[in-house]
């Protein structure tokens, strides 16, 4: 096989990532480990000596994709027999050894809480051509020193503050894959935030499967948000994913008081029917969820809210589904991520009787999505004429000299501009709106100072 001119000592790597933000950041940690071991990124997958699939198993489709992707590597492996293919992330944790039975192409299986083993496992495979598995729960991704991660360039950085989930939602595989909750010590979080700021990032997204349950000594998430205010150049702070039952008044007050905390919250509700919420064991009622929303809106006026909905949970009746539609009308979310229920082996809901036809579930999903598009279009149109601060991500997918950025409320804005503005703050006037994004035109200074941002809030 033709090799690039200067081959790094250990070889080249490629990481493909599925799933949530937690996984995206774990891939940055895996990349950091590979670079410490002398690997460098491969410009093209055909040049890779190591391919890692960092996988998600939250729904069956995500898991299936991993195995079909593995199959697609056969020609690469035939051309380069020393190519090492690793399966990491949640499918690795759930399937363990059986990954090897499902695909003869995988060489190693590494769980999300054991990532530090990666370099040693690669050595083992190289030396002995064995197939190591490590599913240890050593909290590696929490203890991982942040500066070792190879973060994507840009203005936005992830920072893992907690991992795992102690909840017992009956549909969810995550407690089985990510294990029990563990938090990163608050001084460590602060140190990492300072490092990230010194590296030039302007926005930090704190990550945890149940981030509202963050706890370090006497510091809860609200205290952590307040503590992070001292990192001056971090002008935007977000956190995900919130669980409604853990969204305390302290957290809401911190959102109100801290200038850098963005006015957006992702607050998964899953269903609008109390009976379904009970079968899901979510630990809150529709009323309690709505109270939280009211509380958020009274403390942080204009806050944008997004949510997750599962359609077709076992036994969901037309009446229960109608309750979800009515919740969407009542709350008017700014964004909704909706999914067809996917049975996950080993979860309590897998044993529940279903009885709803797949076609019916699909029709419900389509109805829900159509309603939400209407709501989003209405909400976005109300912003036309307003001035927003955006942080530029880079060139827009639409091309044609367009760039894209996000408002503090996490709305996507496309506007004419130069991709070199990536990482800069800009003031834009919103000139038109669609259901999923806004169109803007630049106005005012390209870079605001902190005092100005506080006024906008």
Comparing CA positions, the residue from 146, 62, 92, 4 lying closest to residue 339 is: 62
- The span from the CA of 287 to the CA of 354, in Å, is 26
- The span from the CA of 79 to the CA of 194, in Å, is 45
In this structure, the strands spanning 39-41 and 84-88 are unpaired
Q: Choose between 92 and 204: whose C-beta lies nearer to ligand SF4.
A: 92
Decide if residue 272 touches ligand SF4 (CB under 6 A). Answer: no
**395's tokens:** 């060139």
3-state secondary structure of 457: coil
Q: Single out the segment in contact with ligand SF4 by CB under 6 A; choices: 52-60, 63-71, 386-394, 405-413.
A: 52-60
Q: Choose between 182 and 340: whose C-beta lies nearer to ligand 5AD.
A: 340
Decide if residue 118 touches ligand SF4 (CB under 6 A). Answer: no
Decide if residue 57 touches ligand SF4 (CB under 6 A). Answer: yes
- Residue 361 DSSP code: H
- Residue 94 DSSP code: H
Rounded least distance, CB 152 to ligand SF4, Å: 17
Rounded least distance, CB 128 to ligand 5AD, Å: 38
Rounded least distance, CB 25 to ligand SF4, Å: 10
**In this chain, which of 19, 175, 223, 314 binds ligand SF4, going by CB under 6 A?**
19
Give the Cβ contact number of residue 263 at 10 Å.
19
Classify residue 157 as exposed, middle or buried by CB count within 10 Å of its CB (0-12, 13-18, 19+).
buried
Give the Cβ contact number of residue 323 at 10 Å.
19
Rg (CA), the chain: 23
Q: Choose between 244 and 423: whose C-beta lies nearer to ligand 5AD.
A: 244
Binding stretches for ligand 5AD (CB under 6 A): 58-59, 171-172, 268, 270, 308, 310, 339, 341-342, 344
**In this chain, which of 51, 53, 58, 84 binds ligand SF4, going by CB under 6 A?**
58
Torsional sign, CA 349, 307, 204, 397: positive
Contact map string, positions 172 to 211, toward ligand SF4, x by CB under 6 A:
-xx--xx------------------------------x--
Decide if residue 52 touches ligand SF4 (CB under 6 A). Answer: no
Binding footprint of ligand SF4 on the chain (CB under 6 A):
19-20, 22-23, 56-58, 89-90, 173-174, 177-178, 209
């Amino acid at each position: 096989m033709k090799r690039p001119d200067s081959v790094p000592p250990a070889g080249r790597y490629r990481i493909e990532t599925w799933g949530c933000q937690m996984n995206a950041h774990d891939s940055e940690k895996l990349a950091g480990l590979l670079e410490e071991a002398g690997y460098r990124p491969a410009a093209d997958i055909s040049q890779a000596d190591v391919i890692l699939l960092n996988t998600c198993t939250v729904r069956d489709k995500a898991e299936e994709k991993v195995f079909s992707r593995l199959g697609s590597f056969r020609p690469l492996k035939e051309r380069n027999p020393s190519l090492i293919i690793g399966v990491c992330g949640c499918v690795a944790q759930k399937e363990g050894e059986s990954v090897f039975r499902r695909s003869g192409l995988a060489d190693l299986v590494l769980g999300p809480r054991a990532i530090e083993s990666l370099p040693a496992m690669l050595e083992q495979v190289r030396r002995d051509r064995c197939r190591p598995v490590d599913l240890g729960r050593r909290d590696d991704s929490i203890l991982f020193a942040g500066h070792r991660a190879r973060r994507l360039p840009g203005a936005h950085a992830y920072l893992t503050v907690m991992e795992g989930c102690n909840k017992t939602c009956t549909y969810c595989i995550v407690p089985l894959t990510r294990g029990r909750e563990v938090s990163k010590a608050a001084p460590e979080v602060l140190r990492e935030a300072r490092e990230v700021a010194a590296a030039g990032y302007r926005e930090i997204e704190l990550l945890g499967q149940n981030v509202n349950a963050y706890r370090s000594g006497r510091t809860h998430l609200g205290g952590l948000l307040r503590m992070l205010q001292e990192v001056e150049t971090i002008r935007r702070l977000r956190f995900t994913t919130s669980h409604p039952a853990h969204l305390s008044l302290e957290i809401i007050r911190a959102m109100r008081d801290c200038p850098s905390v963005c006015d957006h919250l992702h607050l998964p509700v899953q269903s609008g029917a109390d009976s379904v919420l009970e079968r899901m064991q979510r630990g809150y009622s529709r009323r309690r969820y709505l109270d939280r929303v009211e509380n958020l809106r009274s403390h942080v006026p204009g806050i944008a809210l997004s949510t997750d909905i599962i359609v077709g949970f076992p036994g969901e009746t037309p009446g229960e589904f109608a309750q979800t539609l009515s919740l969407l009308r009542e709350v008017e979310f700014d964004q909704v991520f909706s999914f067809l229920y996917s049975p996950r082996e080993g979860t309590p809901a897998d044993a529940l009787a279903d009885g709803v036809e797949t076609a019916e579930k699909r029709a419900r999903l389509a109805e829900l999505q159509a309603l939400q598009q209407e709501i989003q279009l209405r909400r976005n149109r109300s912003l036309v004429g307003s001035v927003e601060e955006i942080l530029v991500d880079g060139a827009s997918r639409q091309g044609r000299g367009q760039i894209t950025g996000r408002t503090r409320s996490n709305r996507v804005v496309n506007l004419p501009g130069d991709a070199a503005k990536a990482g800069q703050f800009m003031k834009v006037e919103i000139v038109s709106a669609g259901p999923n994004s806004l169109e803007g035109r630049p106005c005012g200074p390209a870079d605001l100072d902190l005092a100005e941002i506080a006024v906008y809030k």
